[in-house]
Chains A and B, each alone.
Chain A
Amino acid sequence: QKEVEQNSGPLSVPEGAIASLNCTYSDRGSQSFFWYRQYSGKSPELIMSIYSNGDKEDGRFTAQLNKASQYVSLLIRDSQPSDSATYLCAVKPHRTGGGNKLTFGTGTQLKVEL
């Protein structure tokens, strides 16, 4: 079982629709979760972080966390063609001592169609 799993896609949604991106993780002790966006040929850009169960909203983006189900998701409302990118889920595994290594999924490619 991979530590962080994402559907590679591509996920195609029409412009203006809601895009739903999902991620599961294996380390039950994980406490910190992040979504990054990566355009082709570019580096990852932080979208949101979430640490507590429930929803966290930032503009058109909503992150959802369910630690009992080991599941984190990202919703993008009113999807725009500029949202077309690969979305990476990252998890900080539970670890005693120092260090804040992130474990990434393989990413989900999102295509927003006109």
Chain B
Amino acid sequence: DAGVTQSPTHLIKTRGQQVTLRCSPKSGHDTVSWYQQALGQGPQFIFQYYEEEERQRGNFPDRFSGHQFPNYSSELNVNALLLGDSALYLCASSPQDGETQYFGPGTRLLVL
């Protein structure tokens, strides 16, 4: 039973560029959440997708957007990258009627 998968594992971009990160949820899970974790900090909630809709959003600017596909996989898009966007981006999945979230391995983004 595959867990949560994310791609790519690492990414280097320059300021102003755009990036797309991908996530496949754990088998049987239909809800995907995205978090940003800066060095030395706890994960910060970006948004959550369920039934291909954004169900809840954290305090992140509109440069951060997402999408969920019919197979429950998800993408996180970040436009106009800033140096401060450098972080570990984590995807977590959960069943719709459950609260426990399981994290993928993360994508480490470096913005130069």
Alpha-carbon distance A12/B112, docked complex (angstroms): 36
8 Å CB contacts to A: which residues of B54-112?
A: 55-56, 58, 88, 90, 92, 94, 99-106
Cβ-based interface call for A94 (8 A): no
Q: What are the residues of chain B within 8 A of A105 when measuring CB–CB? A: 42
Cβ-based interface call for B31 (8 A): yes
Tally of contact residues, B, Cβ under 8 A: 26
The answer to whether A43 and B55 touch (CB under 8 A), given A100-B99, A101-B45, is no
Tally of contact residues, A, Cβ under 8 A: 24
Cβ-based interface call for A103 (8 A): yes
Q: How many A-B residue contacts, CB cutoff 8 Å?
A: 61
The answer to whether A45 and B99 touch (CB under 8 A), given A88-B43, A102-B45, is no
**A98 in contact with B50 (CB, 8 Å):** yes
Q: How far is the CB of A42 from chain B (nearest CB, A)?
A: 7
Q: Which 6 A-B pairs have the closest CB atoms?
A: A99-B56, A104-B42, A43-B103, A43-B106, A101-B45, A100-B99
Offer 17 A-B interface pairs, CB within 8 angstroms, sorted by A.
Answer: A42-B105, A43-B104, A43-B105, A46-B100, A88-B42, A95-B56, A98-B55, A98-B56, A100-B33, A101-B56, A101-B58, A102-B33, A104-B35, A104-B42, A104-B44, A106-B40, A106-B42
